Structure 1
């Protein structure tokens, strides 16, 4: 049976503890343990939190038993994530009962929405901190150490954490995220992000460039520019004499060094302009890969979702991308069973997927989230069994497309950035090509961080398999 979330070829991890191998266990007198859930923004936020805590004498640990502070960086996008976090908090409550002085805190998107339940009704946590309040963590921890419950979930119209250098908690030394903006203005009716992360604000462009430069100087060879809606990035300096759009920012990061590969995520279809596409086309080190969430193939459902485009408009955008960048990798998000969705609406989604033939897809059945516009306006009236059946059909169609797409790559040669040793064999390395497809090849004399030309000899539905060519 399909779970609520079906993520095919999803490289993100849920609820994993992070701590860099490079920080000595003896460096800090106090230890914090952090688990992150949800989107890449949450994982990046955990690195900002780690930087703030380092300044207060806390070092990260992967061992919860040696921590004096346990933090869960949470997600409210889907119900499953919240249920998982509650289960983990219950487990930590048991540890807390036998560990005097241990503090447990919740960060991120769940913080504001259910702070009362976590603090008072269920008494699961000592502190609750929203996404814009991480600078207040030291004061909140000090308050919690006195036995008081500590809360700061205020949203900000200015906070970008642009001056904080993140501690790379889950680093492979090769790829990293760089946050360029926070919040979202789109108000999609199914989404809670505008209410948990606030309005859009763009980070100082030169702080972004500096962070990317420092990563490259430290040996990193790929950065992903990150935001809820990166394409709407728009920064003006204090004097009002310089304005930088997303296309210009993309160019400035690409110009740092030809060996620095650049990706970005996530895009809203309405904001992918020709200017952005031409910038991708202009620079070899900007990857030919775009995440373009469609959510539904039905114009009627898209209107209920407040996505601001029609089925036909989206298809023209896909055509334009393929016209300018023929080999561009394309990924998407799909939600089945949104309010009032009919079989005809569902068939529209399947037919649009046939048209786009995505390289990668993140597929879910609809989960009503408290506080969203959809919860207030519409009835969640599609039976769960129908949602799951439609999701199964979407997944089956996608998997067929993915297999066919991968098979087309056999015999081709790609430039691959080696990211590390393959999980299946120490004799192999893995990395990704320009289109974000995973490639596995014999290690030979190569190491992570190397660019390797790999000829593809075979494939699975999710992996290209080849050998280096010289």
Structure 2
């Protein structure tokens, strides 16, 4: 591609968390305002945005591998794409990416991507640029309105984190905790519903830290926002992720028992089952305080499904301490959970701690942990057989007449029937698999 060529098609490739998915969707909308359209499936794009995640080890190296593949493919067809690197690797590696990868025209951090169209104008003229400023929430006011939404969509309400867990790079790539204004969130949520959303998942690096003033000037926390969103006609379901145990107050616990639209699902990372390891991680909870918190949530909503995050092989973790994590999993009975091997991130305190655990030991522990999590997920699904619930149809299945959606407990459910994407269908959960449920539809529920 010559420097003066204006891109006609784009592809945004997002990695990592749901917030990156949200950011990727918003960048796509920004590009659409310039008349650039998504590249058809199977075709190369004129502009590729690599929306990166910096949580895992070697994240930057994977970015360079992707850049290399794009360059090689462009050379083979005689037309190189414009390449933009966005997200947390862009924030952490900014100028180094520009120095190391001459094929990259733009590097833009997660708080500055609203300026992507202006950077694109300069890139078309042959000017390379980096923007890793971290303005306070300014990007949201610059983003276009949402004109089309899938039935289940995301809404970022909070960014950044002040907890400084010793293994985590987020405070350095996303910045300090900051909450979007209450009125802005209600406006965007209403527009999402008008655009087709029936379920909204509220997102934040620490979503439970959200706070703001409502239209009467009263201070509200996450529970107040949830209650306000629940009053929006046409919005059927509300979820939120990811939370920190330290910020889960009595109001959000009560909301789980009082707000019908708030789904009976809670993702609450614990990370480890050893108090010593939790302290080394700079997690402010203990195993006991975490379990007591879960008891309070279950008392408010007895059918609550629980999810969590775990890190195995944190520096200094002994076999006995890992077995305490297995004991915690046994005690909770998670409906699902995410587990990872510890990955040292440059600049974080844990990266230089003594007692780094050998990779083969981490691998073995992760396999044992995942076996326990998978066991409990399958058990939760089996115990759900016979339940009748609403399933929100999100997409078609592989076979004609087959539909896929989510139960209130975030289980993947498939069934056959005369339905449409976006329908809420009353379904009996008829058969359990390790990762999904087969449903028998009863009736569609009007929007």
Is the pair's TM-score, using the shorter chain for normalization, greater than 0.5? yes
Q: What is the TM-score of this pair, normalised by structure 1? A: 0.87
- Check conservation: 1:458, 1:465, Cα contact below 8 A: yes
Counterpart in 2 of 1:140? Answer: 119
- Check conservation: 1:231, 1:271, Cα contact below 8 A: yes
CA distance in 1 between counterparts of 2:189 and 2:252 reads 19
CA distance in 1 between counterparts of 2:141 and 2:17 reads 19
Cα offset, 1:115, TM superposition: 2.5
- Look up the SS of the partner of 1:79 in the other structure: coil
CA distance in 2 between counterparts of 1:57 and 1:440 reads 37
Counterpart in 1 of 2:3? Answer: none
- Check conservation: 1:73, 1:106, Cα contact below 8 A: yes
Q: Does 1:435 align with 2:412?
A: no
Counterpart in 2 of 1:276? Answer: 252
Counterpart in 2 of 1:421? Answer: 396
Structure 1 unmatched runs, 5+: 1-27
Q: Does 1:39 align with 2:13?
A: no
CA distance in 2 between counterparts of 1:336 and 1:166 reads 41
- Check conservation: 1:37, 1:81, Cα contact below 8 A: no
Q: Residues 235-314 of structure 1 correspond to what in structure 2 (within 5 A)?
A: 235-236=212-213, 241-257=217-233, 259-314=235-290
Pairing partner for 1:198 from 160, 171, 175: 175
How many residues align? The count is: 437
- Look up the SS of the partner of 1:35 in the other structure: strand
- Check conservation: 2:401, 2:416, Cα contact below 8 A: yes
CA distance in 2 between counterparts of 1:162 and 1:207 reads 9
Counterpart in 1 of 2:295? Answer: 319
Q: Does 1:181 align with 2:155?
A: no
CA 1:240–1:286: 2 relative to 1, 3 Å: closer
Counterpart in 2 of 1:222? Answer: 199
Q: Residues 48-447 of structure 1 correspond to what in structure 2 (within 5 A)?
A: 48-62=26-40, 65=43, 67-79=45-57, 81-97=59-75, 99=78, 102-159=81-138, 161-162=140-141, 164-165=143-144, 173-236=150-213, 241-257=217-233, 259-376=235-352, 378-379=353-354, 381-423=356-398, 425-443=399-417, 445-447=418-420
- Check conservation: 2:147, 2:195, Cα contact below 8 A: no
- Check conservation: 1:331, 1:358, Cα contact below 8 A: yes
- Check conservation: 1:438, 1:464, Cα contact below 8 A: yes
CA distance in 1 between counterparts of 2:147 and 2:56 reads 26
- Look up the SS of the partner of 2:138 in the other structure: coil
CA 1:104–1:259: 2 relative to 1, 3 Å: closer
CA distance in 2 between counterparts of 1:120 and 1:50 reads 26
CA distance in 2 between counterparts of 1:205 and 1:365 reads 37
Q: State the Cα deviation string for residues 81-135 of structure 1 (Å, max 9, x = none).
A: 4443322111112234455573211001001322233221343412111111113
Structure 2 unmatched runs, 5+: 1-5
CA 1:160–1:280: 2 relative to 1, 3 Å: farther
CA 1:206–1:182: 2 relative to 1, 3 Å: same
CA distance in 1 between counterparts of 2:239 and 2:376 reads 23
CA 1:126–1:286: 2 relative to 1, 3 Å: same
- Check conservation: 1:368, 1:374, Cα contact below 8 A: yes
CA distance in 1 between counterparts of 2:295 and 2:230 reads 25
- Check conservation: 1:47, 1:168, Cα contact below 8 A: no
- Check conservation: 2:391, 2:407, Cα contact below 8 A: yes
- Check conservation: 2:212, 2:221, Cα contact below 8 A: yes
- Check conservation: 2:277, 2:314, Cα contact below 8 A: yes
- Check conservation: 1:79, 1:369, Cα contact below 8 A: yes
Cα offset, 1:403, TM superposition: 1.5
CA distance in 2 between counterparts of 1:179 and 1:72 reads 20
